[in-house]
Chains A and B, each alone.
Chain A
Amino acid sequence: MTATPTTLPAQGPARSKRGWKRVKKARAPTIKYTALLIFAVIVLMPVYILIVTGFKGVAETDPAHAWSLPSIWSLSAWHEAWTQLSPYMLNSFKLAIPATILSTALGCLNGFALSKWRFPGADIVFTFFLFGMFIPYQAVMIPLTELLSKLHFPAQLPQLALAHIIYGIPITTLIFRNYYATIPEDLMEASRMDGAGMLRTLWSVVLPISIPAFVVAAIWQFTSIWNDFLFAVFIITDPSQYPVTVALNNTTGSLVSAYNLQMSAALLASLPTLVVYILLGRYFMRGLMAGALKG
């Protein structure tokens, strides 16, 4: 006859140490999820307001309907916001895109030199740059506006772009330097032994593998420049050249504006950076980590 299989001892009561832990383990994720979801709702609450209020007609923006969904979904606020803001959004694009490209390029060159083709005092230069990232820009604003106006630019937007390029040097350099630090040193040595000088090495060996850093730096710069208010409000005095943040503040800053217009305008003005964020969010996070200076 076949041997009777040995049976495992029955599971102990749930109060035994192991059983308790198992029960706890099953419950813990749900607590986590609930907490996370609550936080997520809180964080997204303003988005809800932006979208919902933007779709309301003027009649529904009164306190009684503060949080409810619109009964009639109206596009009037969006239309109005677009009319008011689109020229300024164009300004912002004309500002942000060239400035992003140039400051990213500068950051690449600097980051490369400071990490992979070093020179005596490279660390000092890096700290020298870093401090520029932390200063309150108010501390240079007055002389900056003076200096820029003396440079006789044809228009004000290029002045603002120049400011962003220059003051973006520290953060883009940081991003590239930290990224290049992860490239093994022997890759540079192999390139040198193959006969390449610094620029050739940068062009043929380093640049092709720099895409992640470029994306991170570009996203970060584009977002910072698009969202900037301080520099714009000091440097641009000609209203037709305002970037969208200044225009947004002016047209909706007063409490007289209808809520639906305020919200739709705010959301519209944020759309480009939001789109960039949604599409390329994980690079955003990497840019954040670069700015953290893990000590």
Chain B
Amino acid sequence: MKNIRRWGPGLLLVSPSIILITIFVYGLIGWNVKVSLSNWRQAQPTSHYSGIGAYQDLNHDAAFRQSLAHLLVFTIVFALGTLIIGWTLALLLDKGVKGEGFFRAVFLFPMAISFIAAGIVWRWLMNPAPGNRATGLNVIFDKLGLHALANQWYLDSNPVIGGIRSWGMAAMAMPAIWALSGYVMALYLAGFRGVPEELREAARMDGASELRVYRHVVFPHLKPVTLAALIIIGHISIKIFDLMVAIGGKQGFNTQTPAVYMWIQIYDRSDFAKGAAIATLLLLLISVLVIPYLIYTVRSERRS
């Protein structure tokens, strides 16, 4: 305890933030759970404990279950898309090309744009109108002869097997992939370049072809990056909300995810308990993803 003069000031410096985070993150989370268990189902706030009624309602709510299915499809397409494209871009840039700075800047710029603005453009690109009235990507597909790809995009969330009428939530994932592939690329690029050059050189001297060098020396190094990318993309996918609103609007049932559905509960139905319940479920979903990852990261940081 005699050391307190040493580290006391440090603790003091962070204490305002500790207090703020305790209240505004952990405290409010608790409060939110309380709301979800209350009887606040209408515009006037009330705070009587009412049990898990809101959760039970969600359980029976077809639209909510549908939104979860949408989230699943979205997440899978989103994650696969960003990881594959990001990885590919990083691979292409790994060895350094002329104008690498330019390419990196291009691939990353979508991150500077709000999802609302992106949503506006992509809504136009994914205009479902076919044939003569087609605009957006459908026109390009027609011109390129890829008629089969022209579809109704996000309008109908039930893709017809065999003849794809609409890509449903997968369509909604496209602007998200566009927005975040650059980020995954940045992660992988750092991963690629984090492999010490001597390792690659040693492998080459041992007679490995470039392909082998990648497979046996570089790719194994990327496992932590892939994990980080999956966690980050996964948690964005669960949270994301403005993109769907910008493209599908509040009324787009076919593109609702739980995040959007929550907004509807609050603004249209004034069902705050239900909204809070959805929010709590979202939190649980993310925690399952993130907490193990956080523990793993801090532990491995401490070890190194």
Contact = CB atoms under 8 A, between A and B. Distances in A.
A253 B35 contact: no
Interface in B237-254: 238-239, 241-242, 245-246, 249
A295 B224 contact: yes
B21 interface: yes
Nearest to A29: B97
Contacts of B187: 288-289, 292
Given A49-B125, A230-B242, A113 B139 contact: no
B219 interface: no
A207 interface: no
Q: Determine the interface band of chain B, counting residues with CB < 8 A from chain A.
A: 35 or more
Given A49-B121, A113-B11, A227-B114, A138 B278 contact: yes
B277 to A, nearest CB: 11
Given A139-B282, A140-B25, A140-B32, A123 B239 contact: no
A63 B133 contact: yes
A169 B139 contact: no
Interface in A217-265: 223, 226-230, 233, 245, 248-249, 252-255, 259, 262-263, 265
A135 B183 contact: no
A194 interface: no
B112 A119 contact: no
Contacts of B43: none
Contacts of A214: none
Contacts of B16: 106
Contacts of B272: 142
Contact of A50 (B121, B194, B228): B121
Q: Determine the interface band of chain A, counting residues with CB < 8 A from chain B.
A: 35 or more
B279 A141 contact: yes
Contact of B120 (A63, A131, A266, A277): A266
Contacts of B186: 285, 288-289, 292
A195 to B, nearest CB: 14
Contact of B13 (A29, A39, A146, A198): A198
Contacts of A73: none
Among A141, A278, A295, max chain B CB count under 10 A is at A295
B49 interface: no
Contacts of B241: 138, 229-230
A114 B15 CA distance: 11
Contacts of B301: 295
Interface string B180-219: 0111001100100010000000000000000000000000
A185 to B, nearest CB: 14
B148 interface: no
Among A35, A43, A170, max chain B CB count under 10 A is at A43
A227 B117 CA distance: 9
B115 interface: yes
B286 A135 contact: yes
Contacts of A63: 129, 132-135, 139
Interface stretch (B99-107, B151-159, B164-172): B99-107
A132 B235 CA distance: 13
Interface in B252-288: 259, 262-263, 266, 272, 275-276, 278-280, 282-283, 286
A280 to B, nearest CB: 10
B107 A40 contact: yes
Interface in A21-47: 29, 32-33, 35-36, 39-40, 43-46
B178 A43 contact: yes
B63 interface: no
B249 A281 contact: no
Among B105, B194, B249, max chain A CB count under 10 A is at B105
A89 B93 CA distance: 37
Contact of B106 (A43, A147, A170, A292): A43
A40 B106 contact: yes
Interface stretch (A4-12, A152-160, A267-275): A267-275
Interface in B1-47: 7-11, 13-14, 16-18, 20-21, 24-25, 28-29, 31-32, 35, 45
Interface of B: 7-11, 13-14, 16-18, 20-21, 24-25, 28-29, 31-32, 35, 45, 85, 88-89, 92-93, 97, 101, 103-118, 120-125, 129, 132-136, 139-140, 178, 181-183, 186-187, 190, 194, 224-225, 227-228, 232, 235, 238-239, 241-242, 245-246, 249, 259, 262-263, 266, 272, 275-276, 278-280, 282-283, 286, 290-291, 293-298, 300-302
23 contacts: A35-B88, A39-B85, A40-B103, A44-B106, A117-B10, A119-B7, A127-B295, A136-B239, A140-B32, A142-B279, A169-B21, A170-B21, A198-B9, A227-B114, A248-B116, A259-B124, A262-B124, A263-B120, A270-B117, A273-B112, A274-B113, A284-B108, A289-B187
Given A127-B298, A128-B18, A134-B235, 7 more contacts: A43-B107, A113-B11, A128-B21, A136-B282, A143-B28, A198-B10, A277-B111
